[in-house]
Amino acid sequence: MSETHGHSHSHGLDPQAGRANRARLLITIGIVFIVLVAEVIGGILSGSLALFADAGHMLSDLTGLLVALVALTMAARPATDARTFGHRRAEVFGALANGLILLVFVGFVVVEAVTRLVEPTVAAVQAPLMLGVAVLGAVANTAGLLVLRGGAKDSINMRGAYLEVLGDLIGSIAVILAAIVILLTGFERADAIASLAIAALIVPRALGLLRDVIRVLSQGTPRGTDVALIREHVLSKPGVVSVHDVHVWSITPGANVFSAHVVVHRVVFSENRTDQLLDALTECLADHFDVAHSTFQLEPEEHADHEVDQHR
């Protein structure tokens, strides 16, 4: 005898908060796009590789912001028979594209920066223009942080967007410092050095994105999830004898899914306490492990005996 029961816990924001976060993202996307265009034009006119590198950093974060916006929109769409978990996996494919583009861009910046360090360009870097554009970027990024701050406490996506813009601000500061060094000392290699610093900021993000994508697509255990600890929590519930066939994976980072077969005492069934036990299990997974969707199959001990060879 077995009983299958699934409880779905929504950890998303309420519709009003979702609309507010979409508005925050749209405003920040507009700010980042304007600065991105300004940095590309400024990089061309000033000859600054650091501005180009920071523009690439901002392009990455613009993509991340767009992915966050898509994730918010997709999360609000209901699941269908064709897509039983909805459309949230789109966020993962967006992150995959973003990570690959970032690595290619970093390769270009590093090669160009090393070339400039070894053989400085004949044309001088226009440090005043470089400084002006970088200051504009820093101001705009600060404004973006202020816009996103309100949603960063309530949403994983919004927190990620906040950190992306914070990274942009650090990149702009690196360009400002390089421009000041060039203005004060004439040491133009500072531009290439700043480019390498910005590339160093980008690489961990790119590798982190790809690592998360691989973990999700390979249905690996979500980062920070302790399966042994989950087993301990399940076994601590009154009436539970053992647990097996445990699976934990993610639809997208932050949306964890759990399933397991739980062997329980016969008395739990005879006294009709299965609903009480299922509520305790699903609440435990949601509260302690941030599992968005959990499914348990409750089995009496005699049923579990002939599953032992199939589920270890």
81-139 per-position pLDDT tens digit: 677 666 667 777 777 877 888 888 888 889 988 988 888 665 678 989 999 999 998 99
Regarding whether 231 and 186 lie in a shared domain, the answer is: no
Distance (Å, rounded) from C-alpha 241 to C-alpha 239? 6
Q: Where in the sequence is the domain holding 19, given as residue range(s)?
A: 15-217
Q: What is the pLDDT of residue 168?
A: 82
288 burial level (CB within 10 Å; 0-12, 13-18, 19+) = exposed
Regarding whether 247 and 177 lie in a shared domain, the answer is: no
Regarding whether 241 and 194 lie in a shared domain, the answer is: no
Regarding whether 146 and 68 lie in a shared domain, the answer is: yes
Query: Which of these three, 217, 250, 273, is where a domain ends?
Result: 217
Regarding whether 150 and 28 lie in a shared domain, the answer is: yes
Q: Bridge-partner residues for 243, per DSSP?
A: 262
Regarding whether 228 and 209 lie in a shared domain, the answer is: no
Regarding whether 87 and 188 lie in a shared domain, the answer is: yes
Regarding whether 230 and 212 lie in a shared domain, the answer is: no
Locate 306 and state its tokens.
């002939």
Number of structural domains the chain divides into: 2
Q: What's the first-to-final CA gap in the chain, in angstroms?
A: 19
Q: What is the pLDDT of residue 29?
A: 87
Q: What is the pLDDT of residue 4?
A: 44
Q: Are 169 and 79 within 8 A, CB to CB?
A: no
Q: What is the pLDDT of residue 8?
A: 41
Regarding whether 202 and 60 lie in a shared domain, the answer is: yes
Q: What is the pLDDT of residue 75?
A: 62
Task: Count Cβ atoms below 10 Å from residue 197 Cβ, excluding itself.
Answer: 18
Q: What is the pLDDT of residue 155?
A: 57
- Give the CA angle between residues 105, 102, 199 to the nearest 5°: 65
pLDDT under 70: residue ranges of the chain: 1-18, 71-72, 74-76, 79, 81, 84-88, 120-123, 151-158, 160, 303-312
Query: Which of these three, 172, 200, 217, is where a domain ends?
Result: 217
Residues 75-81: contacts with CB under 8 Å, at least 24 apart = 75/12, 75/18, 76/12, 76/15, 76/18
Q: What is the pLDDT of residue 15?
A: 54
Q: What is the pLDDT of residue 303?
A: 65
